[in-house]
Amino acid sequence: LVARGFRRLQDKYHPKTAEVPDETYLERTLAALSIDTAGLQGCLANQLPSIVLPFLQGLLASLSQALDLPGLLEDPEPKLRTVLQIQAGLEHCLDQTIRQVSCICPESAYLLLRADDHDLKGLKSFRLQRLKIYFPRQLSLRFCHIFQTAQELVQQMELSSAPPNLGWPIGYLRECLDFFVGQASETVQGMADCLQASELVIVQDVWAAWRPDIERSLQTVAEKLRPSAATSARTAPPRLPDPLLADPALQLATSTVPIVKLSKLFFAKLSKRGLAREPLPHFAQICSQQIASLADSAEHVARDLRRLVDHLDVANWHAADATILRFTELARSLKACFEPPLLLVLLYFIPLIPDTDGLDVRASYNSWFVTWNNQMGLAIHNLILVAHACELERMP
């Protein structure tokens, strides 16, 4: 019965077989009933992260405990009865989540990033777009992995009338279950953050895909400057080290290092170890288009750094093609990438930091970013000067 229940839940919520609510129908119905759509959305946007999603988190933890291997082996019947109750709770909670997300995120509310939603708090179109990324597809897949693994675990322990799956050991299935429960829990928390966390916390998820690229650019330049030391310290499979750079590429690479380090430092200062850690209000007076600009900044910086680092190879192997104009363009493009996010941080987030125990934390952050901006300007200016000097040396 328990195994069949997991199978039924898997079929019900899998993205390929699940029934997706008709969002336009919901919008038309609310309009026909003269229901205050904005008021209802706001109410649900508060209820979902404060009541429904925490309850879903609790059910995940309960399921993991109920499928504890020693307890199942010692006294399976009460454990399996508990699992049946948890299955019913999960189904009710997931259905409620589906309905609420469909109401909070009608198609018209999230398709376009708005420039006039400064005051919409949890209903800003950027937040709703992020919520739709998490749900329904990502959350549904996470839970379906849990349901499938739990079904196989129950069958493998011969606690079901269905024949056991001889493919996977019980211990391995239990490890998989823990992994999938952890993934689902992170997704549920991500959904809650979409509605409640500060905008600066939300963009961290977008930056997470690009910050490693910035780190790789720094590592690549380091390898070009001292390949033997850099490659020996890596844990990656061995490969032929990059050859030592010759002048003028060596000078250009040396001038590139501060730029990459300062780029890395900028996003680190805004991360959950820096400004995002401060007790910022959940909602700033910032619109969705501005939040999206802040979120996209890490991608733009990472790509410009990659182009700059790649052009060092051009300078090393094909010096005639490594023009001063190209280095100048790349350096100035990179500088321009930082201007929008820096302005947004100074305008919308630092002023919201509360003073703590008489410490002027805002002044400290302002001073830090002024210093950072000056250092980045000098680093880019220095790279352009070095490129000019290399060009002059190459001239007959």
CATH number for 205-225+245-393 (one of 1.20.1410.10, 3.40.640.10, 3.40.50.620, 1.20.1560.10): it is: 1.20.1410.10
pLDDT of residue 161: 56
Over residues 31-48, mean pLDDT: 74
Q: CA 168, 171, 173 angle in degrees (round to 5)?
A: 50
Q: Is the pLDDT of residue 227 over 60?
A: no
CATH 2.60.40 fits 1-196, yes or no: no
What pLDDT band is residue 102 in, cutting at 50, 70 and 90?
confident
pLDDT at 179 over 90: yes
Query: What letter represents residue 196's amino acid?
Result: Q
Q: Of residues 310 and 168, which shows the higher confidence score?
A: 310
Region of poorest pLDDT, from 1-15, 93-107, 174-188, 230-244: 230-244
Q: Judge whether 178 and 41 are in contact, CB under 8 Å.
A: no
pLDDT > 90? residue 185: yes
Maximum Cα–Cα distance for the chain, whole Å? 89
CATH 1.20.1410.10 residue ranges of the chain are: 205-225+245-393
* Averaged pLDDT for residues 38-43: 82
Q: What pLDDT, in 10s, does the model give residues 157-168?
A: 776 555 555 567
Give pLDDT, residue 27: 55
109 or 243: whose pLDDT is higher?
109
Burial letters for 114-138: b for 16+ Cβ neighbours within 10 Å, e otherwise? Answer: beebbebbbbbbbbbbbbbebbbeb
Does the structure show a pLDDT above 70 at 12?
yes
Query: How confident is residue 15, by pLDDT bands cut at 50, 70 and 90?
Result: confident
Find out whether the peptide bond into 248 is cis, omega within 30 degrees of 0.
Answer: yes
Q: What is the average pLDDT across 172-179? A: 94
**What does the mean pLDDT of the chain come to?**
84
Locate CATH 1.20.1420 in the chain: 1-196
pLDDT at 243: 46
pLDDT 10s digits, 113-158: 899 999 988 889 999 988 887 777 889 999 999 999 999 988 887 7
Can you give the pLDDT at residue 314?
Answer: 73
| Plot region of 121 (φ>0 → left; ψ -120 to 50 → alpha; else → beta) | left
pLDDT of residue 73: 79
